[in-house]
Amino acid sequence: MKLGMLETGAFVTSTPRVTPQHDQPAELETSTSEVAGDVLPIEHLRAAHSEPLFRMLVESVRDYAIFLLDPNGCVATWNAGAQRIKGYSVDEIVGKHFSIFYTETEKRTGKCDYELEVAAREGRFEDEGWRVRKDGSRFWANVVISAVRDDRGELIGFSKVTRDLTERKVAEDERAARLAAEHANRAKDEFLAILGHELRNPLAPITTALQLIKLRSDGALSKEHQVIERQVAQMMRLVDDLLDISRIVQGKVALKKQRVELRTVIAKAIETASPVIDQQQHHLDVTPSPVPLVVVGDEARLTQVFTNLLMNAAKYTEPGGHITVGMRQHGDEVVVEVRDDGVGMERALVERVFDLFVQGHVGDNARGGLGIGLALVRTLVGLHGGKVEAASAGVGQGSTFTVRLPSAESRAGHNAPSMVRSQAVERAPRRILLVDDNEDALMLLGDALAAAGHDVRTALGPAAALEIAQTFEPEIAILDIGLPDMDGYELASRLRDARGNDNLHLIALTGYGQESDRARSAQAGFSMHFVKPVDLRRLRDVIARA
């Protein structure tokens, strides 16, 4: 007996026999077998599988489980591939129902019976899914079940071929997960960029208005204006921290490393944090190092580290408290300690204070913030090859944060470079075209630049800007990027085309501040990319040097 295939794809059985012919050699003739009523179908299946050539072929296959089922779904034969993939020996599995390979959920839903019904009706059933081995482990299988029929078309069982595709499935799932993660990251980046833009836009006119008030009052602000200035600055720090932590966690921040005198970094951090420290009437004591403390790092990012530590100390210390900053050389390391006599921390908080979104709470007195400042500190210090540690004797006992950075051999002498405020280089008034779709920001910045002696034209959108440029011929164009109808990049190109040369000096002033935004601005020909709200002194410096 051997297996043959009908045009339908179903298997049939046939028995070879020799029929003598008169005056001719014996010929091999095949006739359809007749199944007696008292012969079980499973015996036909075993007989078919015992045909030597077929058995040898099946037994040689180890990558596939190839076996036969009787009409009820019980295992009739078993090959080496089946034993390797599923774990059962011949003696253990023959006679058992093939549902033993399926999960409990699939058994309850009647999947096994459904597969046999489809195979019997259509000749073939194919599926992929999880299957169960003898040891209970699961594997991803491609399964093909074919109906086996005799010469009269009677169903006598099923052939079942199973292939283990777990490695492929795992690879596909990993790839799908990777693509989903990349898509989620892109969506998050786009969301954060839009969030930063939308949060910075309303802050820009407020900041510009305060700076105008300060300029018109010879640098003096009322107490009310000082409150507004501090709160706007705090809002900007929160926005910047939120965007920074996203970029840093994804490895999208490239450090601009150079030899940096750490005493200068600390001085800049203190200057940035001073408004908050002064507001809380804290006493700040700094113990400078008698020798230069030189590291190789990104000065702006290191300033951010120590600004966050000082802000944290000011926030978690009751008004009138004490904050001390100490710095020293210790072997091959530069060590900076920021100590306060504030609310302190429990041991459990000390162990996770640098985790993202973790905040300290004392009683019902929540201190606000997003819980990302110290996470930024740890990440940035780590990017510089250093480490940061937190310590506290307990609640009410204050806290100490210690930063250790690899020291660089100093060649800068013994005097720390002094910090010099940038001064605008006075030049003749410039013709400036200012474009922004935020009317308040446009008006206030226009007034500020006009007060500095420049000839300023303002436009609320690209169309108005192009019309003004036809007769005004600006030397400098300060453009928002997120404009309606036409973005700032296209507007810049059209303004330059209208002038017929590339001498127009382009400055981007936008709420979009990610590295990709800055890179795109540079590619579009912008010489400077300011993120709202802009520091008027810096903007005036750039204009003066344009």
Look up the CATH number of the domain holding residue 8: 3.30.450.20
Q: What is the dihedral of CA 425, 508, 229, 451, to 10 degrees?
A: 50
92, 125: one domain: yes
Residue 27: Cβ-neighbour burial (10 angstroms; 0-12, 13-18, 19+): exposed
12, 114: one domain: yes
Q: Which two tokens stand for residue 166?
A: 């777990």
Kindly state the DSSP code that residue 426 receives in the 8-state scheme. Answer: P
CB of 159 closer than 8 Å to CB of 148? yes
Q: What is the dihedral of CA 408, 411, 415, 420, to 10 degrees?
A: -80
Kindly report the backbone phi and psi dihedral angles of residue 300, in degrees, each rounded to the nearest multiple of 5, phi listed first: -65, -40
Tens of pLDDT, residue by residue, the chain (546 residues): 444 433 333 344 443 333 333 343 333 333 333 333 333 455 555 555 556 655 666 665 677 899 999 999 999 999 989 999 999 999 999 999 999 999 999 999 999 999 999 999 999 999 999 999 999 999 999 999 999 998 899 999 999 999 999 999 999 999 998 888 888 777 776 776 677 777 777 888 888 888 888 777 776 677 777 778 777 877 777 777 777 766 666 666 778 889 999 999 999 899 888 888 988 899 999 998 888 899 999 998 899 899 999 999 999 999 999 999 999 998 899 999 999 999 999 888 888 888 876 665 444 344 555 567 888 899 899 989 999 999 999 898 999 999 999 998 643 444 443 333 333 344 568 899 999 988 888 888 888 888 888 999 999 999 999 999 988 889 999 999 989 889 999 999 999 887 665 688 999 998 887 778 888 999 999 999 998 888 888 888 889 887
445, 546: one domain: yes
Give the total residue count for the chain: 546
Radius of gyration for the alpha carbons in the chain, expressed in angstroms and rounded: 39
Look up the CATH number of the domain holding residue 192: 3.40.50.2300
Do β-strands 322-330 and 294-297 pair in parallel, antiparallel, or remain unpaired?
unpaired
Which residue type does 64 have? Y
Whole-number Å distance between alpha carbons of 404 and 212: 41
Has residue 171 been placed in a domain? yes
Look up the CATH number of the domain holding residue 378: 3.30.565.10
Has residue 313 been placed in a domain? yes
Kindly report the backbone phi and psi dihedral angles of residue 424, in degrees, each rounded to the nearest multiple of 5, phi listed first: -70, 135
Which residue, 164, 188, 207, sits at the end of a domain?
164
Q: Which residues contact 36 (CB under 8 A, 6 or more apart)?
A: none
Residue 30: beta bridge partners? 16
365, 393: one domain: yes
Has residue 530 been placed in a domain? yes
Has residue 510 been placed in a domain? yes
356, 502: one domain: no
Which residue type does 191 have? F
262, 402: one domain: yes
385, 533: one domain: no
Which residue, 139, 164, 189, sits at the end of a domain?
164
Whole-number Å distance between alpha carbons of 378 and 391: 14
Q: Which residues contact 414 (CB under 8 A, 6 or more apart)?
A: 291, 292
Has residue 418 been placed in a domain? no
Residue 319: Cβ-neighbour burial (10 angstroms; 0-12, 13-18, 19+): exposed
- Going 495 to 516 to 204 to 447, the CA torsion angle's sign is negative
- Going 482 to 485 to 488 to 490, the CA torsion angle's sign is positive
109, 174: one domain: no
Do β-strands 24-32 and 64-69 pair in parallel, antiparallel, or remain unpaired?
unpaired
15, 158: one domain: yes
Has residue 296 been placed in a domain? yes
Which pTM was predicted? 0.47
Domain region containing 125: 2-164
Which residue, 381, 406, 431, sits at the end of a domain?
406
First to last CA, the chain: 95
Kindly report the backbone phi and psi dihedral angles of residue 33, in degrees, each rounded to the nearest multiple of 5, phi listed first: -75, 150
